[in-house]
A = this chain, B = another copy of it.
Amino acid sequence: VPTSRKPRTGGATEPGGAVAGRPAAVRRAQRDSYHHGDLTNALTEAGVQLARTGGPGAVVLREAARKVGVSATAAYRHFANHGDLMYALKQRCQAILADWMRRELAAGAPVDDPAEDALRQLSAIGLGYVRFALAEPGLFRTAFCHTEPSRLAASAEGSTSAEPAGNEPDELPDLDSFPSYRLLTQILDRLVELGRIPAHRRPYAPMHAWSSAHGLALLLLDGPLAALPETERDRAIQATLQLVIDGLTAP
């Protein structure tokens, strides 16, 4: 009699912040008893360490469990399988990326003119994006790694198996998985309000901006721009970001 009790569907925890919806007594990460207390987060964090060093390919469920000091089997109480862990890691890395962008945003001194300041912000998040990629290539690759659609079946019961059609570029699928995207669109919105970006260009502005930053980052990591000496690199980043801004703000 196979009583395959399927364990928890993972990811009840949120990335990059406090754990919600759990008693505080249970939140401690240190293991001081038979029960760990917060294995989901601990495993995710261990997975992040693995990804940091070796990229998505280095994420090994058993190794993550080992790092936490827990049997490999225990992981299956929190993630349905390896792919589930990967998905959680991808989300986590996306959150970290957004953190880097926010940090860069906060690091710069605000400018008096609101429009100029918005442009500064646009440049800052782009810089944060690229700097994250260069500083944490493993996490960056994980943030954009290919995860199979083997994602645990979406709970939506009215499942017409056809893909959801009719998305506008502004209401993208899985948008919440990409907090950095929101960061970007907010700044772009402000620039349109302030008249620095023509309204007709707004719909595809996020794609343009993000594509540039993303491509730049990846080319510097694994493309023809890898091994560009650092000083050149920094100048190139600045110049490329400036070109993006020029393109967006051109009348």
Contacts and interface: CB of A to CB of B under 8 A. Distances in A.
Interface in A198-222: 201, 203-205, 207-208, 210-219, 221-222
A166 B247 contact: no
Interface in A149-205: 163-169, 172-175, 177-178, 181, 201, 203-205
B141 A223 contact: no
A178 B223 contact: yes
Contacts of A218: 144, 214-215, 218
Total identical chains = 2
Interface stretch (A3-11, A13-21, A72-80, A228-236): A228-236
Interface string A33-61: 00000000000000000000001010000
A146 interface: yes
A177 to B, nearest CB: 7
Nearest to A228: B167
Contacts of A204: 236, 239-240, 243
A216 B224 contact: no
B239 A219 contact: no
A250 interface: yes
A226 interface: yes
Interface residues of A: mostly helix, strand, loop or mixed? helix
A36 to B, nearest CB: 30
Contact of A240 (B137, B207, B226, B239): B207
Interface of A: 55, 57, 137, 141, 144-147, 163-169, 172-175, 177-178, 181, 201, 203-205, 207-208, 210-219, 221-229, 232, 236, 239-240, 243-244, 246-248, 250
